[in-house]
Every structure is written in structure tokens, then in C-alpha cells.
Amino acid sequence: MSAPSPRSAPVAGSAHELNKLNKRLRRQVGQAIADFGMIEEGDKVMVCLSGGKDSYTMLDILRQLQVKAPVRFELVAVNLDQKQPNFPEHVLPEYLEGIAQPFHILEQDTYSVVKRVVPEGKTMCSLCSRMRRGALYAYAAENGFTKIALGHHRDDLLATFFLNLFFHAKISGMPPKLQSDDGKHTVIRPLAYVKESDIAAFAEAKGFPIIPCTLCGSQENLQRKVVKRMLEQWEKESPGRLETISRALGDVRPSQLSDRALFDFMALGRHSEAPLPDLHAWMAGAPASEVDVDDDAPAAKPVDALAAIRAKNFDPIWNP
Ligand code: SF4
């Protein structure tokens, strides 16, 4: 479930300001859809709706784009009722019926399972979000959905990038579009370019019937909170920094990093095609006579960066 809004930039209460914000969101979502080929003719898109500000905003903007889109696609809002205590079951159906949005409410008591398995006082979000993902993916497969839309926004992408950097020593994040490991699902994140404060302001101005995400009594992952605070501080001290980092995620230069799987540093500056000796042994001090040179070794294959990236796929840090 999406986290509570840390703050929302005021929309100044005027229709003009709301209209400007709405246009900006539409443009940014449209840009992300186009940049990553998120939607195509005939798609059946499952819009995952948690009842938080992010997913309401995603649905609203996708519906606006659908009206004018050059391709026909279907949008179905799907909510997973996880049976949390006091979950207001009527809120989403009433809202969705009110806007004539096709929807489905899935029911699965993941709450009891998570409560039983996770020790008291530990955060439940990791297991809870995995179970939610499992239920939603299964429903998508059974019902012929071609895309699964999640409401993660730019600041979620940035936080995940820094969490992976700080705690997994990896340059990796939360991509705007990805395929599940079994290849059965394509997940899209249409809000990938949208900043959280804009979403918060939009949700407030539109008066979406937000369902609080504190029903489960869990705390957001502590590390994620720390990283989010760090990002907020950066933005306060240097406005625009987060946008700069966000742009950088789309402009990676493997030759300017140090990943040997993504760039063929070995081939740089070579003046012969002879195989290289075992330079590691050589540098470790082995006498030249003991350093292997395999004259029959096949010439090194050129680096296949795409295959290397795929091979490096790892289970990213969760995000509720
Ligand atoms: S446990 Fe975490 S992910 Fe699950 S509903 Fe609660 S806040 Fe959301």
C-alpha cells in the first residue's frame, strides 16, 4: 500500500492551478508511456489500485489519456482486499462505480498470514508486498491482462536506486517497465517521471477518497524512510537535484563506470591480438615464467552489454 504523503505542494485552491498541474501530470505520464513503449493497441491494462494517492492519480491520468490516445486499450482497476482490520470495503467500489470505471476487487487474507509469520515489532511490508504481488500477478494471468500498471513515482524510483546503492552495492533501481522473471507479465510504472509532491497536491485537490495505509499497523521500512529523508533534504538544499538524478538514471555511460561486464575495458589500448597473460597472477607477484599465457585461447568475445545486464538481474528491494 502506498505510503502517506510526506507533504504536498499546495495547488493554491484555484481551478487554474489544478488545471496546470493536471496538464503537467498528463504530459509526464504520456512521456513515460511513449519513452518506454508502455501501452500498445489492444492492451488490457490492470491498474493496481491500493486506495493511496499514487494509484488514484495513476488511474485518473490514464483514463484521461485513454480518451485521446491514438491506440485503443482497456483499463481495469483491480484492488486486493488484504483483509486488514477496519478496511473500508465500500470506499473503492463506490468511487469506481461513481466514475463508471470497470473494476474488480480481489479478496485474499494476506494480513493474517503476514501477522502470523512476521515476528512482533518487525516490519511486515516486505512479505506483505510480495504476497500482494503474487495475488495480483496470478489474477492478471488468469484474466488475460497484457500489462500491469503500478503507481510508483519518480521519488520511489530514486529511493530504490539509493537503497540498492547503499545496502546492496549495486547500481540498480526500479525500472519504468519490466518483465517478470517467468516472462509472463509486463509491469509498467506510468508515474515514473512524476514527483511525489505533485501527486500529493493533485490527490488533495481532486479529493480522492484515500484509504490510510496504517490499517495494518506496520511501519514503513526504516531504511527507506532514512533514504527518503536524505532525498528531501537534498531537494531542500539544492532544488532540482532530484530531477537531475532522475534524468541521470536514463543516461548511463558504461564506459565511464567500472563494470567490466558492461564495457570491454580489456580491449582498450591493446596493440596486438595476442591473448593477455593472467594479469591478476602477474600483479600478485608471480614470476613471469609462471604466469600462464594460453596461446590457443579463443579471442575474447566482444562484450554483450544487454546480455550482461539481463544476467545481472537480481531481486530488487521491495517497495510497498
Ligand atoms: S504491511 Fe506494509 S505493504 Fe502491507 S499494507 Fe501494511 S504498510 Fe502496506
Q: What is the pLDDT of residues 137-148, one digit of tens each?
A: 999 999 999 999
CA distances from 202 to 19, 55, 149 (A): 10, 12, 19
- Do 234 and 264 reside in the same domain of the chain? no
- Do 235 and 303 reside in the same domain of the chain? no
- Do 215 and 303 reside in the same domain of the chain? no
pLDDT confidence tier of residue 319, bands split at 50, 70 and 90: very low
The pLDDT assigned to 3 comes to 43
Q: With b meaning 16 or more CB within 10 Å and e meaning fewer, what string describes 220-231?
A: bbeebeebbeeb
For residue 172, tell me if it sits in a domain. yes
Tell me: the pLDDT tens digits for 262-293?
A: 999 988 888 888 877 777 777 777 776 666 66
Q: Specify the 3-state DSSP secondary structure of 148.
A: strand
Tell me: the pLDDT tens digits for 151-190?
A: 999 999 999 999 999 999 999 999 999 998 788 899 999 9
For residue 61, tell me if it sits in a domain. yes
Separation of CA 230 and ligand 1 centre (Å)? 22
Task: Write the CATH number for 56.
Answer: 3.40.50.620
Q: How far is the C-alpha of 318 from the C-alpha of 297, rounded, in Å?
A: 43
How many separate domains does the chain show?
A: 2
For residue 1, tell me if it sits in a domain. no
Q: Is the CB of 173 under 6 A from ligand 1?
A: no
Tell me: the pLDDT tens digits for 234-250?
A: 999 999 999 999 999 99
104's CB contacts (< 8 A; 6+ apart) are 76, 77, 78, 79, 139
Distance of CA 11 to the CA centre of its chain: 26
Distance of CA 28 to the CA centre of its chain: 16
Model confidence, pTM: 0.85
The pLDDT assigned to 147 comes to 97
Element at 103 (helix H, strand E): strand 103-107
* Single residue among 201, 228, 248 that ends a domain in this structure: 248
For residue 193, tell me if it sits in a domain. yes
* Single residue among 248, 268, 301 that ends a domain in this structure: 248
Asked if residues 236 and 24 have their Cβ atoms less than 8 Å apart, the reply is no
Looking from the CA of 154 toward its CB, the CA atoms found within 13 Å total 25
User: Relative to the CA of 114, which ligand 1 atom is closest?
Assistant: 1
Q: How far is the C-alpha of 96 from the C-alpha of 197, rounded, in Å?
A: 24
Question: Which of 71-85, 135-149, 201-215 is the least confident region?
Answer: 201-215
Q: How far is the C-alpha of 20 from the C-alpha of 16, rounded, in Å?
A: 6
* Single residue among 217, 248, 279 that ends a domain in this structure: 248
- Do 180 and 286 reside in the same domain of the chain? no
Asked if residues 14 and 201 have their Cβ atoms less than 8 Å apart, the reply is no
For residue 111, tell me if it sits in a domain. yes
The pLDDT assigned to 213 comes to 75
Give the residue, by CA position, lying nearest to ligand 1 atom 2: 125
Separation of CA 252 and ligand 1 centre (Å)? 33
User: Relative to the CA of 124, which ligand 1 atom is closest?
Assistant: 1
121's CB contacts (< 8 A; 6+ apart) are none
- Do 234 and 130 reside in the same domain of the chain? yes
In the 8-state DSSP scheme, what is residue 12?
T
For residue 316, tell me if it sits in a domain. no
Q: Specify the 3-state DSSP secondary structure of 106.
A: strand
Range of the domain at 305: 259-311
**Which of 110, 115, 216, 317 should be mutated for ligand 1, with most atoms under 8 A from CB?**
216
